[in-house]
Amino acid sequence: MQDFVFRELARRGFTMDRFAMDRAAIEAHPGGSPWSEQHSTAPIVVGIHHPRAETGRSLILQSHLDVVPEGPRALWQHAPFEAEIVGDWMYGRGAADMKAGAAANLCALDALRRIGFQPAATVYVQSVVEEESTGNGALMTHLRGYRADAVLIPEPEEEKLVRANAGVIWFQIEVQGLPVHVREMGAGANAIDAAYRVIGELRGLEADWNARKAMHEHFRDDPHPINLNIGKIEGGDWASSVPAWCRIDCRIAIYPGVDAEDAAAEIRARVEAFARGDAYFANNPPRITFNGFRAQGYVLEPGSDAEAALERAHRAATGAALERFMTPAYLDTRVYALYDRVPALCYGPISRNIHGFDECVSLASVKRITQAMALFIAEWCGLEEVA
Ligand SMILES: [Zn+2]
């Protein structure tokens, strides 16, 4: 996919850059997430448009090409990787999250070119990976030195602008059991049963974090802004042995302004305190590993020129006022909001079932937001005639 994007950008005359993730630099940065064996080794691709005369404001257009697993195929009505179109909807894993936005980044610039114009400012089209598991791809473009006056990431946001967004932490907990034959089960310790006790404690942590929502302006009206997901469980070897091991993979959200490092330390302390008070865990403490996202949330500060320009562009393209909302999940825009401190706009098409079965994107909506993006680029960067 990155090779495809590289060729598409090169064919359009962009100055090309392709580079690997720098693990040491990423892990040394406060916004870097820990590595795991599953970490992508795909390159990051950036295409740079240089104007003849730099008269406007520069812009980063970013998309991520990684997708989440499709899950059991039998639960899809439409094939997950065939890009089937039924009526207005294109189906497929990643169709909405976010191949549609990746295409919009290119097509908004193509649209301007078709009427004889190009941005009168430097535009970086950045294609990254690792958005769904660490956020390290976006951070790598920052570490590579790419900076602009504003950033636009067309994630599937229902034609709305993201005002605030949660951070995310991933962790894995390993519980050891004591394996015995089931006929003397009382003498052993069942790692799967024990893992359930840890999950119970984590649900308590989740409840405590939700109870703090009143302190967070954009989150207090959400009934349950902090979601803990027990995303994966593995354990045991077969039905007639008391399981000696169990592993759970977890994801939890954090509020903007909460340091991801502090939140991770709180999770660790909570699990350790629980273990000390538990007859079995006191001598066999569960092991906790941070194996993915360790990313902070952000708030898009209201009142920027970039937001006003997008608002005008959205109104011109759709005839409707631009709505803002909070999304309690990770977004790459956090890199630019937190570490570049520039307006980071997350705005994109209408979708259904992202991360679920029969993910799909509205093609009419993709056209509308692409038009809004082209108008936004025209105002933000200014235009010059194509030579
Ligand atoms: Zn996405």
Q: What is the rounded CA–CA span in Å between residue 328 and residue 326?
A: 7
Q: What is the rounded CA–CA span in Å between residue 138 and residue 130?
A: 8
Residue 316 Cα to ligand 1 midpoint, Å, equals: 26
Residue 96 Cα to ligand 1 midpoint, Å, equals: 8
**Domains within the chain, CATH numbers bracketed:** 2-165+298-385 (3.40.630.10), 167-295 (3.30.70.360)
Over 80: is that where the pLDDT of 184 sits?
no
Q: What is the rounded CA–CA span in Å between residue 136 and residue 308?
A: 29
Residues sharing a CB contact under 8 Å with residue 38, sequence separation 6 or more, in sequence order: 133
In the chain, what's the furthest Cα-to-Cα distance?
Answer: 83
**CB–CB of 169/252 below 8 Å?**
yes
**CB–CB of 275/285 below 8 Å?**
yes
- Could you report the per-residue pLDDT of 98-147, keeping only the tens digit for each? 999 999 999 999 999 999 999 999 999 999 999 999 999 999 999 999 99
Residues sharing a CB contact under 8 Å with residue 273, sequence separation 6 or more, in sequence order: none
Residue 11 Cα to ligand 1 midpoint, Å, equals: 26
- Could you report the per-residue pLDDT of 198-256, keeping only the tens digit for each? 999 999 999 999 999 999 999 999 999 999 999 999 999 999 889 999 999 999 999 99
H or E stretch at 316: helix 305-318
Residue 14 Cα to ligand 1 midpoint, Å, equals: 24
Residue 93 Cα to ligand 1 midpoint, Å, equals: 11
Residue 283 Cα to ligand 1 midpoint, Å, equals: 42
Residue 219 Cα to ligand 1 midpoint, Å, equals: 21
* pLDDT given for residue 180 in this prediction: 77
- Could you report the per-residue pLDDT of 228-241, keeping only the tens digit for each? 999 999 999 999 88
- Is residue 324 very low, low, confident or very high in pLDDT (cuts 50, 70, 90)? very high
Residue 315 Cα to ligand 1 midpoint, Å, equals: 24
| Token digits of residue 275 | 């273990």
Q: What is the rounded CA–CA span in Å between residue 136 and residue 38?
A: 13
SS3 string of 338-367? HHHCCCEEEECCCEECCCCCCCEEEHHHHH
Residue 289 Cα to ligand 1 midpoint, Å, equals: 25
H or E stretch at 252: strand 245-254
Residue 67 Cα to ligand 1 midpoint, Å, equals: 8
Percent of the chain having pLDDT more than 70?
100
Residue 94 Cα to ligand 1 midpoint, Å, equals: 8
Query: Identity (one letter) of the amino acid at 93?
Result: R
To the nearest 10°, report the CA torsion of 29, 35, 40, 46. Answer: 0
Residue 346 Cα to ligand 1 midpoint, Å, equals: 10
